Amino acid sequence: MSDLDHRVGVREQNLVVRNLKLSNVTEESCDELVKEIDQLFGIDEVSYNIKEGEIHLAYDAVNVSLDGIEEVIRKYGADVHDDWWTHTKESYYKFVDQNIKDNSVHKPWSCHQAPSGAGRKNK
């Protein structure tokens, strides 16, 4: 896949897929919740499985944060499910997202470069 296979603001190298269980989501708020999250810059795909109570997210970890998505979720009266496994996944997702964001601005360097002026001289 390439970056052209995704929405604007989503790069393949920064794309993450997340599944989180939500609580207090009503059928009335479900559609508006998904619609507002879908409009965020950097979201590639979002869907909500009302039977399982899980939200499926695909987004660019550099342009969108899980905290920002959770703010939208709370705006509609819902929240991340309060159990051990969901909180463990949420913490892991935030850790990985921060690493992706940090690595996107990191400038690679190498100590194995030839010093300036040390190149071969042709005679």
For 14-49, write each residue's pLDDT tens digit.
Answer: 899 999 999 999 888 999 999 999 999 999 999 999
Closest CA to 49 of 34, 69, 59: 34
pLDDT over 60 (residue 117): yes
Q: Which residues pair with 60 in a beta bridge?
A: 15
Cα–Cα distance measured from residue 60 to residue 100, given in angstroms and rounded to the nearest whole number:
9
| pLDDT value at residue 123 | 55
Length of the chain in terms of residues written = 123
Token pair listed for 27: 């059928």
Residue that has been written with the tokens 């269980």 in this structure: 21
Share of the chain above pLDDT 70, in %: 88
Helix (H, G, I), strand (E, B) or coil at 46: strand
Q: Are 61 and 11 in contact (CB under 8 A)?
A: no
C-alpha 34/C-alpha 72 separation (Å) is 9
Q: What is the pLDDT of residue 106?
A: 77
What pLDDT sits at residue 10?
82
The owner of tokens 């997340």 is 18
pLDDT at position 5 is 74
Statement: residue 59 has pLDDT above 80: yes
Match 């590639």 to its residue by tokens: 44
Which residues make beta-bridge pairs with 58? Answer: 17, 45
93 pLDDT above the threshold of 90: yes
Q: Indicate the pairing of strand 15-23 with strand 54-60.
A: antiparallel
Higher pLDDT, 110 or 122: 110
